[in-house]
Structure 1
């Protein structure tokens, strides 16, 4: 039996040494495999991102060529009419007031500047329009919106008449006070 134990002992020692080397080899292989996987994922990410950028550039070029025939919508420009408009009413035997702050929205600064020369006429037309309104109708949101639309039409008509261009796209009420 002693021979069997001796025979087993050298086998265990030889298995012990290669086992340590095989563990080291296994760790090295795992590290190399992880580094390879990380490198491949980074490379694939960069490849696909470059492909997306090329596709975006192509789609932008395509959109630019399609829009070449269409007019490009310019950025909105706002012109605030100061001071605010104040008009008075005689409503049911009492004196009532309305204060309206107005801003003009256009797309071309030169057209708005051309309209600026006619500001006294524009302000006069708006005062007359505001003072001719029904106080009770203006107390509702629908009445205020109707007044805003009438004001827009009035300003656009004046701009068309005086400058020959539609300088104002919309008239906006930035503040309305009814008292």
Structure 2
């Protein structure tokens, strides 16, 4: 009789082990269903919003004379120093060139040492006090644009750069 009691105990523990396994499997399936619903809902809402974007090329064809803007980032950033009243000051500028024709930008890339020299000379000739104001920064940007356009016209014979953009401007 004692042996019968001992043999019936282990299957009872095995039964609770099976119920735990069923619970784990049920939780895993519920988790996968929740992830699937989340991914499906996200895909549904994003694909619904993407339909108006397909009509964007039709709007681009409405202005056939205007090409898409292309950007050429000049790396590394330009760093120049100023001696302001006996105190050393620094300017760090990250520059991007905006053009409309990739062939013209590629032709300008061949002149990159000349371009970088032009920018360094322009940036280092500035007055630190004028660069602190937003108007001074905009004036510098316009001077840089005019300078690079003249250089591009001389070097390649074409106006390769439409604008010079400052993507980072740090004064210290």
Normalising by the smaller structure, the TM-score range is: 0.5 to 0.7
Whole-Å separation in 1 of the counterparts to 2:137 and 2:64: 33
Partner residue, 2:135: 142
Whole-Å separation in 2 of the counterparts to 1:151 and 1:122: 10
Q: Does residue 113 of structure 2 align to residue 110 of structure 1?
A: no
TM-score, normalisation: structure 1: 0.61
1:71 deviates by: 5.7
Which structure would you say has the larger Rg?
A: 1
SS in 2 for 1:126: helix
Partner residue, 1:171: 164
Name structure 1 gaps, 5 residues minimum: 1-59
TM-score, normalisation: structure 2: 0.63
Q: Does residue 116 of structure 2 align to residue 123 of structure 1?
A: yes
SS in 2 for 1:84: strand
Partner residue, 1:13: none
What per-residue deviation string (whole Å, max 9, x for no partner) do you get for residues 5-41 of structure 1?
A: xxxxxxxxxxxxxxxxxxxxxxxxxxxxxxxxxxxxx
Segments of 4+ moved more than 2 angstroms: none
1:72 deviates by: 1.4
Give me the CA root mean square deviation: 1.5
